[in-house]
Amino acid sequence: MENKLSHVNEQGKANMVDVSDKTVQKRTARASGRIVLSPQALQQVRENLNKKGDVLAVAEIAGVQAAKQTATLIPLCHNLQITKASVKCEIFETGIEVRSEVICLGRTGVEMEALTAVSVALLTVYDMCKAVDKNMCIEMIKLDEKLKENL
Active site residues: 127
Reported in sequence order, the residue ranges of the chain that DSSP labels E, i.e. its strands, are 25-36, 82-92, 95-106, 137-150
Helices of type H across 19-148: 39-46, 55-68, 70-73, 111-129
**Can you tell me the distance from the alpha carbon of 116 to that of 118, in angstroms, rounded to the nearest whole number?**
5
Is 98:87 a contact under the CB 8 Å cutoff? Answer: yes
